[in-house]
Homo-oligomer: A and B are copies of this chain.
Amino acid sequence: MPSNTVQLIPVNSVPEISPGDNLSGIISRVIKKEGIEINNNDIIVVAQKIVSKAENRIVNLKKVKPTEFARSVAKEVAKDPRLVEVILSETKKIIRMDMRKKGHGRLIVETRNGLILANAGVDTSNVTGGGSVTLLPVDSDKSADKIKNSILKNLKRKVAVIITDTVGRPWREGLVDIAIGCAGIKPLDDKRGLKDSRGFLLNATVMATADQVASAAGLLMDKNSQTPLIIIRGLRFKTGNKGSKSLIR
């Protein structure tokens, strides 16, 4: 096997996460318990959902009172008005609103953090209690940094951390995972100025490394299973501490 093989290692026994849980501590413990030796320069990929749960970014729809605007939008996109209220509370700008077409109304918005996401990243699946939804973490870069520091403290290893969400794309069917937060890794890998294998200057090649890592991990993050945590091992990446903002156009 070539020495530069990369491994995607799923961490299977993450417990159900509840508001107030010390997520970074739990991650360190679970990894240890699974008998996985964390290495320096591993990338720890964490699904947004468990970060949101730990940070109590959960809203019980029963407690939401939709405004009149939320109600009228809800009608057009055929969604629960309380869900629309929550989405709009996370929204800076409505980018696109597909009117109800047999229950498939769609609301694509720019979130407060600048991400362009359907439903502002508000998610109705995998939350305890049918009437609850999760919002994205308030600051996913900060959440990633906290996990990174916890692993340095608890396991004495210097890793990078990426928090991912599952998103749709214009022009392509199907969802992919992207990086909504990161720590310890440069999300963009700028290859401009380098030469290609023929000696010609590469033009405009800036790879979205953190998004590609998110997608790789996403292959093992089954939505209906309990695998919100993947370790990427053996990848050469550029370190950095400026978070994920540079991925946003």
Contacts and interface: CB of A to CB of B under 8 A. Distances in A.
Interface string A218-239: 1110011110000000010000
Main secondary structure of the interface of A (DSSP, over half): loop
Nearest to A199: B130
Contacts of A154: none
A89 interface: no
A88 to B, nearest CB: 19
A212 B212 CA distance: 8
A2 B216 CA distance: 17
Contact of A205 (B11, B175, B211, B213): B175
Given A1-B9, A130-B200, A248-B173, A212 B209 contact: no
A112 interface: no
A6 interface: yes
A126 interface: yes
Nearest to A216: B216
A172 B249 contact: yes
Nearest to A95: B171
- Copies of this chain, complex-wide, total 2
A205 B173 CA distance: 11
Interface residues of A, number: 67
Q: Which of A12, A125, A178 has the most CB of B within 10 A?
A: A125
Contacts of A78: none
A208 B189 CA distance: 23
B207 A174 contact: yes
Contact of A174 (B127, B171, B211, B219): B211
Contacts of A10: 2, 4-5
Contacts of A36: 1-2
A138 interface: no
A203 interface: yes
A213 B34 CA distance: 26
A6 B4 contact: no
Interface of A: 1-2, 4-12, 34, 36, 104, 116, 124-128, 130, 166, 169-178, 187-189, 191, 194-198, 200, 202-209, 211-213, 215-216, 218-220, 223-226, 235, 246-249
A-B residue pairs, 3 tightest by C-beta: A174-B208, A216-B216, A215-B215
